[in-house]
Amino acid sequence: MSPRTSAVEARRTRERIVERSIALASVDGLEGLTIGRLAADLGMSKAGVLGHFGTKEALQLATLEGAAAAFSRLVWEPAAHQEPGLTRLRAVCDAWIAYLDTERDIFPGGCFFTTASVEFDARSGHVRDAVARLLRVWRRRLAAEVRTAAAAGELPPDTDPEQIAYELIGCYLALNQEIQLFADPAASVRTRRAVDRLLGHPGQGQSASP
C-alpha cells in the first residue's frame, strides 16, 4: 500500500469514527463517548480508534467540529445562495426547523449543540470553550443577517440584532425540547408562528417608523 493510499484510508477511517461519534453524542452526550463503544460499533480495535485521536478530549473536540460542519451543511448552506438579509434569514429558519424535526440519520438524539451546551455549561476546559465558541459564531451569523435586513428597510431601523438573534435561538431551543421530550406534532408550526412574530409574516412590509 502506497503512503498516499494509507493517508486516504486513515482519513476515511477517522471520518467514520467522527460520524459515529456525532450520532452517539447526540443521544448520550460527549461524555458518553467511549472508545469501547465506538470500536464495537465500527468493528475496530480500541487501539485503532484511539490511535486516530490520542485522548478522549481530542475525540470530543473532533466530534464537535464534525457536528458543526454537518449543521452548517444542513442549515446554512441551503440558504447561503439567498439574498442577504430577511430572505436568507427566513431560509435559514426553515432549514433549522427541518434539521430539528426530520434529521435523524446524523443526529438521532436531536440538536447536538443543545445537548452539548447543557452538558458542559457548568464545566471548564477545552471542550466547554469549543462549545461556547461554536455557539457564539452562530449567534453572530444570525445577528449579521438581522443587521443587514434592518439596513435594507426589511425590519424597523431600531431593531436590535443581538436581541433578535437571542430570541430566535430561544425559539429553537424550545423546538428541540418539544420534539425530543414531548413529541409534540405541532412544535414546528408553533415555532414558525414565533418566528413570524419576530420577523414579520412573509410578504408583510417591515419598514415601520421608529
User: What is the tens place of the pLDDT at every residue in 70-129?
Assistant: 999 999 999 999 999 999 999 999 999 999 998 888 999 999 999 999 999 999 999 999
* Cα 142 from Cα 138, distance rounded (Å): 6
pLDDT digits (tens, 9 = 90+) for 44-70: 999 999 899 999 999 999 999 999 999
Q: What per-residue confidence (pLDDT) applies to 204?
A: 55
Amino acid at 189: V
Which distant-in-sequence residues (6+ apart) come within 8 Å of 67 by Cβ?
Answer: 22, 25, 26, 107, 112, 113, 116
CATH class for the region spanning 3-199: mainly alpha
Q: pTM above the 0.85 mark?
A: yes
Q: What per-residue confidence (pLDDT) applies to 85?
A: 98
Q: What per-residue confidence (pLDDT) applies to 210?
A: 30
* Cα 106 from Cα 121, distance rounded (Å): 23
Please state, rounded to an integer, the average pLDDT across all residues of the chain: 92
State whether residue 199 is helix, strand or coil.
Answer: helix
Q: What per-residue confidence (pLDDT) applies to 158?
A: 96
Amino acid at 88: R
Q: What per-residue confidence (pLDDT) applies to 47?
A: 92
